[in-house]
Structure 1
Amino acid sequence: MKKYVICGVSNRALQMFIGPLLNEFSKENEIVGLLDSDPLRFTVCKNQFPQLELVPTFSPEQFEAMIDDTKPDYVIIAGRDDTHIDYILRSLHKGINVITEKPMVTNAADAYKVMQAEAKSEGKVIVTFNYRYSPFHRKIKEMILEGKIGRVTSVDLNWYIDTFHGASYFRRWNRDRELSGGLSVHKSTHHFDLVNWWLDQKPEEVFAFGQLNYYGPDGEMNPRKENNRHCGTCEVKSDCTYYTRWNPRSGASTVRDDHLMAGVFEKIPYTDYRPDACIFDEEIDIEDTYVATVRYDGGSLLSYSINFSAPYEGYRLAINGTKGRIETTEYHEPSRIPFAYPEQTIDYYPLFGGKETIELVKNPGGHGGGDPILLEDIFLGPDPLRPYEIQAGAEAGAYSIAVGEAVWRSVKEKKSIHIETLLKQQKTHV
């Protein structure tokens, strides 16, 4: 029986790890400890999962005691991004395996520390990059490995986050770069890891532009310049287009924050956590729009963009190679798309020949069906029939973070950023 402790009893921990461990994977796995800074989260967790009633709970200051008392085989880390580094390093120091949500940490210097610590430890790090496991993303990986497009020369990836999801990052702690690394780390590491994995190359250099276009005090939709507002008590929310788009006056909306259980905040306000801060506050210190170019050590180039206030959610991808091209477009969160859209397919264009359209069976589950397969790999071991590596470790986590940090540093410093230099430098604050 493998034993797990959970550091950070977030909604992600509840839905992604605790629920599956107690249900689908309980035969050979058990949860032996919960750690969080807010006791109210233990209440929510144990109300939802009564099986955990007798499982001991710990505060962050009791991490060592938790490890000594429960002797876990794995530490699962699913709390706020800036808390990851401490739990990862302390777990590795004790030779314990780590399963961490992305981003692994919030900056490249800490990512380098994790790689160094893992090299000296009996424990290993798994980063839960679930986008790798989508059937479309696995198929693209397989097509590249089969040589369908030859040597990859360039990738064009344009990502769109809609006005509901995008605004949610600016209502919470994600809007503070010290806590999240900024959205080029917190969110875009998903995308950078996907490209790194497809290419099987290491990023070398990044140049980027970025701006705060939609949120912050100068956002064009700001109904009134005033700090420290919250949607729940705001006097001008009826004049806020972002609020009224997703919160009709009837109160009948069923849309909830992607990172909260529906209704939990209204019933139990977590300590020091309000997910309804104003998206137009002056304290916002991150960007909401990026364009970036990445050069890889194998010669490939990435052209990337992301917009956190788009009319719909999804992405457009093209991968060019010496023998052909792959294209696909995904429309995500269909319940929030106000127009007809096509089902996702993969289009393959050989350099000389006819187009081929590939349709795939979609898996149930979150992140395009990736979550359930990721969990199988974590709790049952990697699929022995899969002919390529897919599970991400500390190095993959580190290079995705390094690209994300290089993006915002390039924006601030107005120059290209070299990845290896960034990974090995001491942490500084800009």
Structure 2
Amino acid sequence: MAVRRHAIVGLGSRAQLFARALVTSPRAELVAFCDHNETRMRVHNDWLGTGIPGYRPADFTAMLAKERIDVVVVCTPDHTHADYVVAALEAGCDVVTEKPMTTDVEGARRILAARRETGRSVRVTFNYRYNPVHRRVRELLAGGAIGQVGSVEFSWLLDTAHGADYFRRWHRDKANSGGLLVHKSGHHFDLVNWWLGRGPETVFALGRLFFYGDENGRGKAGDRFALDLEASPRLRALYHDAEREDGYVRNQDVFAPGVTIEDDLSVLVRHHGGAVLNYHLHAYSPREGYRVAFSGSEGRLELDVRENEYAAGAEPVPKRARARLTVQRHWEPPEAVFDGILGDGHGGGDERMLAELLGDAEPDALGCAADHDAGLQALLTGLAANRSLETGRPVSVEELLGEIGEPA
């Protein structure tokens, strides 16, 4: 396989994952950075020990031609994804984009139209698919371990370190991120789509800003939620030292005005084929983890993952998740399929995803690779849920597909 030339656009924290992998891969080469902040590009070069040239967003298209880019990795704020994805496709590049693929109907329409017209590929980095215990769930369901799935219960807890972080950063404005139902829950909606092998049909949602924000913060000690950027060499270099260039404040007060996203959300989704998902996300839990259960015609499958037992402070602490996966068929005792510690990086998913993305591993037999259609299906649940929050009614996914210009 030929070595493919890559560029990364958006040099925040998330770009580290891809940059490290690219500079060590035998089948990929990192040849360009693009960001509006010179400090962040310089910091990445310092960490990598490289001299990769940096470009401003205004020079993005010229960069693709000059550096002969084959693949663009998009790590910019969510609301800008569509602009970079479309420009890269039209320049003849393939694209790897952080989730979500985009944040709105118009962005989805533009990306899908550009992909059809150019024939280039779009990959969305749903790394949770590659987590070994999630792969085992897919194997069991596909193998009929509990028969036909009738319903799914999925509860995700973000603690007061991780959850609060979405209210310190640009994500706090729904215009930037699409809210947690698009930005964060997209991972979870994708997992359910992948596990069931079917996308969403009808969506209803309820949610509110209950814990964070200025209306809820009166009398609360906001400093308990503040990151100490000075205490972390990486955060200080990447954000504190870069503030003077663009004015971006990484550590905003979670109780300050300007929060337009929800922190407590419930969603009902009827999937094609009839299975119903009952989903809950809340972003102010004292501990972090998630639980998903599938009820089927022949039994029940349950996955319980505990990522930490309490949030020690505002700074996220390294943690190793512990998972327990059980299957119980009707009239039989439960069987523990897995009970142990998961790997680092989304349960070990990051490493596996990167190896496949960069061509250093064969494609996963379970179809972990997420293309533009998977990105769209996960996005549709989030967009429909947001519309349901606005209108108070169930939303048909067919309605959104019509606006995007895709067949139902």
TM normalised by structure 2 equals 0.91
Deviation at 1:222, TM superposition (A): 2.8
SS at match of 2:116: helix
Q: Deviations over 1:369-424 (max 9, x none)?
A: 1100000110126635x432110011111111111121122111100111121133
Partner of 1:11: 13
1:76: which partner in 2?
Answer: 73
Q: CA deviation at 1:361?
A: 6.4
Question: Hey, what does 1:233 align to over in structure 2?
Answer: none
Which one of 354, 357, 366 corresponds to residue 375 of structure 1?
A: 354
CA distance in 2, matches of 1:331, 1:246: 24
Distance of aligned partners of 1:325 and 1:102 in 2 relative to their CA distance in 1, 3 Å threshold: same
1:109 and 1:424 in contact (8 A); partners too: no
The superposition leaves residues 16-43 of structure 1 with CA deviations (integer Å, 9 ceiling, x where unpaired) of 10011112x1x22111111011111112
Number of corresponding residues: 395
1:347 to 304, 326, 350: 326
Q: Aligned partners of 2:124, 2:389: CA distance in 1, in Å?
A: 27
Match of residue 274 from structure 2: 299
Measure, in 2, the Cα distance between the counterparts of 1:7 and 1:278.
27
Matching of residues 382-397 of structure 1 within 5 Å: 383-384=362-363, 386-397=364-375
* Residues 1:365 and 2:334 are matched in the alignment: no
- In 2, are the aligned partners of 1:112 and 1:424 still within 8 Å (CA)? no
Residue 90 of structure 1: how far off its partner (Å): 1.2
Are 1:398 and 2:395 counterparts?
Answer: no
Q: Which amino acid aligns with 1:114?
A: I
Q: Which residue of 1 aligns with 2:303?
A: 328
Q: Is the CA contact (8 Å cut-off) linking 2:150 and 2:295 kept in structure 1?
A: yes
Unpaired stretches in structure 2, ≥5 consecutive residues: 314-319
SS at 2:358 equivalent: helix
One-letter amino acid matched to 2:33 = L
Paired AA for residue 85 in structure 1: A
Aligned partner (choices 223, 237, 240) of residue 243 of structure 1: 223
| Percent identical residues | 33
Query: For 2:254 and 2:75, how far apart are their aligned partners in 1?
Result: 24
Specify the SS of the correspondent of 2:144: coil
1:253/1:149 Cα in 2 relative to 1: closer, same or farther (>3 Å)? farther
Q: In the superposition, relative to structure 1, how do residues 313 and 246 fare at CA in structure 2: closer, same or farther (>3 Å)?
A: farther
Alignment-derived partner of residue 103 in structure 1:
100
Query: Which residue does the alignment assign to 1:125?
Result: 122
2:37 aligns with 38
Cα separation, 1, equivalents of 2:70 and 2:288: 38
Match of 2:234 in 1: 261
> What letter is aligned with 1:284?
V
Summarize the Cα distance change of 1:71–1:252 in structure 2 as closer, same or farther, 3 Å threshold: closer
Distance in 1 (alpha carbons) for counterparts of 2:167 and 2:284 = 11
Q: Distance in 1 between matches of 2:241 and 2:182?
A: 31
How many angstroms does 1:316 deviate by? Answer: 1.2
Q: Does 1:319 align with 2:294?
A: yes
Counterpart of 1:2 (choices 1, 4, 22) is: 4
Task: For residues 244-277 of structure 1, give each alpha carbon's deviation from its aligned partner in whole angstroms, at most 9, with x where no partner exists.
Answer: 3677xxx8997x7xxx934333444362211221
Instruction: Answer whether contact 2:55 2:63 (CA < 8 A) is retained.
Output: yes
| Matched-pair contact (CA < 8 Å) for 2:103–2:178 | yes
Moved more, 342-351 or 131-140: 342-351
Residue identity opposite 1:408 in structure 2: N
Match of 2:316 in 1: none
Letter in 2 for 1:125: V
Deviations 1:112-161 (A, max 9, x none): 33223212223100100011111110100000111101111110001111
Conserved in 2, the CA contact under 8 Å of 1:349 and 1:355? yes
Partner residue of 1:211? 208
Alpha-carbon distance in 2 for matches of 1:162, 1:17 = 26
Are the structure 2 counterparts of residues 424 and 113 from structure 1 closer, same or farther at C-alpha, using a change threshold of 3 Å?
A: farther
What is the distance in 2 between the residues matched to 1:94 and 1:361? 46
Counterpart contact for 1:289–1:308, Cα < 8 Å: yes
Q: Relative to structure 2, which stretch is displaced further, 350-359 or 197-206?
A: 350-359
- For residues 87-118 of structure 1, the C-alpha deviation after alignment (integer angstroms, 9 at most, x for no partner) is 11111122311000001111133223322321
Which residue identity does 2:334 align to in structure 1? Answer: K
- The alignment partner of 1:336 has SS state of coil
- SS of aligned partner of 2:29: strand
Is 1:174 paired with 2:149?
no
5+ long unaligned stretches in structure 1: 224-238
The answer (yes or no) to whether the contact 1:35–1:63 under 8 Å persists in 2 is yes
Deviation at 1:334, TM superposition (A): 5.8
For 1:205 and 1:33, locate their aligned partners in 2 and report how far apart those are by CA, in whole Å.
42
CA deviation map 1:270-311 (0-9, x unaligned): 622112212122321111111110011111110000001111
Letter in 1 for 2:327: Y
- Name 1:48's counterpart in structure 2: 47
User: Helix, strand or coil: the match of 1:306?
Assistant: strand
| SS of equivalent to 1:75 | strand
